[in-house]
Amino acid sequence: MSAYLSKRLLTLKPYTPGEQPTDKKYIKLNTNESPFPPSPKVAEAINREAVEDLRLYSDPDLKALTGTIASTLGVPRECVFCGNGSDEVLCFSFLAWGSEGAAYPDISYGFYPVFAGLCGIKSSVFPLSPDFQINLEDYDGFKGLIVFANPNAPTGLFVEVEKIRTLAENNPQSVIIVDEAYVDFGAESALPLIFDYKNVVVVRTFSKSRQLAGARLGFALADSELINDLNRVKFSFNPYNVNRLTAIAGEQAMLDADYFESCRAKIISTRERLKCELSRLGFAFTDSTANFVFASHPGISGRRLYEALKDRRILVRHFPAERIDNYVRITIGTEAETDVLISALSDILKEAGL
Ligand code: PMP
């Protein structure tokens, strides 16, 4: 770093994204992207006219996109905010509501502490239970922003919405962010709570269940006053935060309900098949409702498993962190990719004499 870097940022530890190789020689099961392409309607809509329109800035109010999200999900348009990936929505949330501090689980999305550090916000970290469950009662009485992923990452476990309701009810002093990046793969959404509580924000992404990780699009759903707060941050940073092509892609992805349903059904069935195969091979894993599984094997370390799979051109994610460094997180791929994965895991265990 340079001698000019702001003092505040000296101790900031930036987020480490999963590997993103530029060639296609790996089966990529490391960053929870979709193994399927976006809806064919997306490619049709990104046409010559859309490209020519790139000379113009995007609509700062994203009326068409927020309108489509609103009507698809059954919320008023004033309750929708879009960002450049849900990462941006989350960062804006820390800026908007984190002045009294931010609380999140010790094992969760690794960007929460980074956002807190970047925004100069004090973090309070609450440990998951030994079986990796989030105890929402721990957060009762906390004065600042509360944020957790549901289902959680990298465990894939979810907290029942009724428990989130109790948290919202008991803690009107806090904004509660429910990061639902993975909710479409089988968990229950907290969306109905936004109509009952003025302190609940549901954050979603187009990166996982709508196949648009590379387009960068996420959104928040909340009471319109909270949405106004996010707009206050956005219009103090970048009024054109979602680019024209991404807005078009997002609209089409939202509108193509059949494609969305068929992709998520395939992911869910492949995930359940993978769980059976992992059991057969002697793995332990959480009962994930996300588009990944979080697995460990009693005979081989997480690090070794990650490396052995990489040697076989399969990328998974290993987190060298306390309590979870014996695990790997494996994104659900296509059926064919899953076959290759299972036979690689079998070989690795055989070679290790297991
Ligand atoms: N929340 C969670 C829990 C995630 O795992 C991710 C993606 N890694 C995100 C948010 C961010 O997703 P995106 O910025 O691609 O919308």
Task: Tell me, letter by letter, the H, E, C secondary structure of 190-253.
Answer: CCCHHHHCCCEEEEEECCCCCCCHHHCCEEEECCHHHHHHHHHHHCCCCCCCCCHHHHHHHHHH
Q: How open is the CA angle 280-261-331, to the nearest 5 degrees?
A: 40
Report d(CA 40, CA 48) in Å as an integer: 16
What band does 24 get if pLDDT is binned at 50, 70 and 90? confident
Distance 145 CA to ligand 1 centre (A): 18
Q: Is 183 in the pocket of ligand 1 (CB under 6 A)?
A: no
Give, using CA atoms, the residue closest to atom 6 of ligand 1: 181
Domain boundaries, the chain: 18-36+258-351, 40-255
Average pLDDT estimate for 237-243: 98
Distance 190 CA to ligand 1 centre (A): 17
Task: Pull the structure tokens for residue 231.
Answer: 């707009």
| pLDDT over 90 (residue 122) | yes
Q: Is 86 in the pocket of ligand 1 (CB under 6 A)?
A: yes
Give, using CA atoms, the residue closest to atom 1 of ligand 1: 181
pTM across the whole model: 0.98
Tell whether domain 40-255 is in CATH 3.40.640.10. Answer: yes
pLDDT in tens, 125-143: 999 999 999 999 999 999 9
Q: In the chain, which residue ranges form alpha helices assigned H by DSSP? A: 40-45, 48-52, 63-73, 85-97, 111-119, 161-170, 193-196, 224-234, 244-255, 257-280, 302-311, 335-351
pLDDT for res 313? 97
Task: Give yes or no for a contact between 283 and 296, defined as CB atoms under 8 angstroms apart.
Answer: yes
Q: What topology does CATH give the domain 18-36+258-351?
A: Aspartate Aminotransferase, domain 1 (3.90.1150)
What number does the ligand 1 atom closest to the CA of 207 have? 15
Average pLDDT estimate for 285-303: 98
Average pLDDT estimate for 268-288: 98
Q: Is 108 in the pocket of ligand 1 (CB under 6 A)?
A: no
